[in-house]
Amino acid sequence: MSDPAYKHIDLAASNYIKITKKIIYMYYIFVMLTIYPLISNNQQQYKSNKNLNFGYRLPQKAVSDMRDISHLTCASCGREMLKPEVMNKFMKSFMASSVRALENSVLNRFKDSWAFNFVKELSKNAPKKTIDELVKSESAQKQLQNVDAHKKIMLGEFMSVADKITLKAPRVMQKLSKYYDHFCKEDKEILDLMEVYAAQYPKNTFAEIFQKPEVAQHHTELFQTYKQQAMEQKIDVFKRLKEFSKKLPAQDVKKLQVTNNEALKVLNNAYYKPHIKQACVEDIYNNFLKNCETKRIRKKIFDIIKDIPYESPAADEFIAMCAQNKTSDKDIVSKFAQEMSATFEHVKAKSQKGEDTIENGIVLCKKCNTERSNIPYRIYLKIHPEMKKNIQKQINKIITFINHKKLLGYDNYPVDIKKTLLNETDNLIKIKIKRYLKYREQQVLKRLEFARASYGKDKETANNAIQKLNTIEAVMHNLLEEIKQLKKDKHRVNDVLTKAEQSCEHYKNVIEKNQLMFDEINKLIADDTLINQTVKPKKI
């Protein structure tokens, strides 16, 4: 990592500048007259496609559900990605203490202001705390209650600048170095150079270093020189291709022109990394060779296009851009830290009508997502064959979460993503989900068996109940019949009773009457008997 890149670049720079300044105007005229219309047309197209390439269009819920899976690894490089809360913590660890931040040149314009002095006073008691922590403390908030609105606005402005000040360069390098292996080749080049600067200016932050006139100017010149040289080299390659095409039949000339345009489009894509550009351009010319009528020109074509300049001095460009845009410390650190964040990758690219749906998504670290951009997997997998293994690793992890009910609503994801990947990679990525499907089959089978057993048990209970009910109903029916009969009997007996009672009443009267008569007659008989015994005829 401590490659003395700085010295090497210094020497190269002076040579570049001398040579190129002389020929810039010559080529400028050439560019304007011949190639420029083509390039500018492609740049125009690139601009209109630019919005299709990047991640603001993420399906938020899907990506947050997936990236909340702890220790999820990137489907491409297989490295662990940082979840948002881990990322926030990581970014906070770069913030400068208040005492250091107040020394930073970016706050010079606030010196002697009320806000600056207010924070300086707070810092005296807790110099190691960050400015943000100091201002948000209870005592500071109490003091701010009685401060007028104008001063509060001034403090807000001061804070927005102060919040972007990080630790000094050597300590930033210490923290970033831990993740050195994660970064792409271009980022490693930048970090190598940053290491050199951190040693050279240990008391400054990177934003301060990159804005030092000697640093900014040096890298801006180097980058401009490279751009010029690369442009000239590019023009030369396409000029040679044009020359070469004169020997070809008319239909092949046309095909080569279309191919050159396609290659230029790739070369002008600012998001493609150099090795991606090279793979795409070679693929484009291979396609041309497959389809053209003239045979045995492969060597000649590849002899010409091997001179296309792909590699760019990433470190010079980065520092030149930071200097030009006055990029803050925080944004410099963030450029690297964010490379490890989890992002949603559209397997079928958005530019090819790929949808914002979970069936079309895998999770890549930002580094890999940027690298893949929207190039076909056919090409990407040639560069990164390890993706086949790493995508399986990611899907396996997701499957574990689905099986443990920690990721609800994603049961069909493994099947769907398998189909999407087969379609989009010309069957190159065929993930294994057999075990997952077997597991699901077993789960369903268990539920089925349980339901069947419960059904059998309940069915028996139901049958018994039906039998009992039938018996009860039969008994009830008989009883009802009996009741009906008894009711009839009751009616009939009631009639008998009524009649008997009426008859009784009648005979009671008859008895009473005849009894009276009987008594009277008996009395009459008794009287008569008495008379007969006692009464003797009178002697006359």
- List the interface residues with Zn ion, window 502-521 (CB under 5 A): none
Region from 72-80, 155-163, 286-294, 371-379 binding Zn ion, contact rule CB under 5 A = 72-80
- Per the CB < 8 A criterion, the answer to whether 338 and 59 are in contact is no
Cα–Cα distance between 162 and 119 in angstroms, integer? 10
Cβ proximity to Zn ion: between 82 and 173 the closer is 82
Min. distance of Cβ 396 from Zn ion in angstroms?
A: 17
The number of beta carbons lying within 10 Å of the beta carbon of residue 428 is 16
Cβ proximity to Zn ion: between 86 and 235 the closer is 86
Q: Which long-range contacts (CB under 8 A, 24 or more apart) does 403-412 make?
A: 403/436, 403/439, 406/69, 407/65, 407/66, 407/69, 410/65, 410/358, 411/440
Min. distance of Cβ 339 from Zn ion in angstroms?
A: 9
Cβ proximity to Zn ion: between 81 and 131 the closer is 81
Cβ proximity to Zn ion: between 76 and 327 the closer is 76
- List the interface residues with Zn ion, window 113-152 (CB under 5 A): none
Min. distance of Cβ 76 from Zn ion in angstroms?
A: 5
Min. distance of Cβ 82 from Zn ion in angstroms?
A: 12
- Per the CB < 8 A criterion, the answer to whether 277 and 305 are in contact is no
# binding residues, Zn ion (CB under 5 A): 5
Cβ proximity to Zn ion: between 264 and 276 the closer is 276
Cβ proximity to Zn ion: between 74 and 319 the closer is 74
- The residue type at 429: I
Q: Which residues does 95 contact at the CB level (< 8 Å), separation at least 6?
A: 130, 132, 163, 165, 166, 167
- The mark string for 322-361 relative to Zn ion (x by CB under 5 A, - otherwise) is ----------------------------------------
Region from 73-81, 147-155, 261-269, 506-514 binding Zn ion, contact rule CB under 5 A = 73-81
Cβ proximity to Zn ion: between 62 and 81 the closer is 81
Min. distance of Cβ 77 from Zn ion in angstroms?
A: 3
Residue 193 engages Zn ion in binding (rule: CB under 5 A): no
Cβ proximity to Zn ion: between 130 and 334 the closer is 334
- The mark string for 74-113 relative to Zn ion (x by CB under 5 A, - otherwise) is x-xx------------------------------------
Query: Alpha carbon of 474 to those of 242, 477, 480, 481, 485: distances in Å?
Result: 105, 5, 10, 11, 17
Backbone angles phi, psi at 346, to 5 degrees: -80, 115
> Hey, what are 15's tokens?
């040579």
Backbone angles phi, psi at 99, to 5 degrees: -65, -35
Q: Could you say which DSSP state residue 351 is in?
A: G
Cα–Cα distance between 275 and 129 in angstroms, integer? 44
The number of beta carbons lying within 10 Å of the beta carbon of residue 96 is 24
Min. distance of Cβ 52 from Zn ion in angstroms?
A: 21
Cα–Cα distance between 127 and 69 in angstroms, integer? 38
Residue 460: which H helix or E strand, with range?
A: helix 434-534
Min. distance of Cβ 90 from Zn ion in angstroms?
A: 17
> Hey, what are 61's tokens?
């819920």
Min. distance of Cβ 394 from Zn ion in angstroms?
A: 10
> Hey, what are 149's tokens?
């609105």
Cβ proximity to Zn ion: between 95 and 364 the closer is 364
Cβ proximity to Zn ion: between 184 and 248 the closer is 184
Min. distance of Cβ 182 from Zn ion in angstroms?
A: 8
In angstroms, how far is CA 7 from the centroid of its own chain?
Answer: 44
- The mark string for 368-397 relative to Zn ion (x by CB under 5 A, - otherwise) is x-----------------------------
Q: Mapped to the 3 state alphabet, what secondary structure does 239-296 carry? A: HHHHHHHCCCCHHHHHHHHHHHHHHHHHHCCCCCCHHHHHHHHHHHHHHHHHHCCCCC
- List the interface residues with Zn ion, window 241-270 (CB under 5 A): none
Backbone angles phi, psi at 344, to 5 degrees: -85, 125
Min. distance of Cβ 75 from Zn ion in angstroms?
A: 8
Binds Zn ion (CB under 5 A): choice among 263, 323, 365, 398: 365
Min. distance of Cβ 365 from Zn ion in angstroms?
A: 3
Of 371, 374, 366, 373, nearest to 336 (Cα)?
366
Cβ proximity to Zn ion: between 257 and 338 the closer is 338
Q: Which residue in this structure is represented by tokens 């609105």?
A: 149
Of 364, 378, 369, 375, nearest to 422 (Cα)?
378
Min. distance of Cβ 390 from Zn ion in angstroms?
A: 8
- List the interface residues with Zn ion, window 394-423 (CB under 5 A): none
Cβ proximity to Zn ion: between 167 and 391 the closer is 391
Binding site for Zn ion (CB under 5 A): 74, 76-77, 365, 368
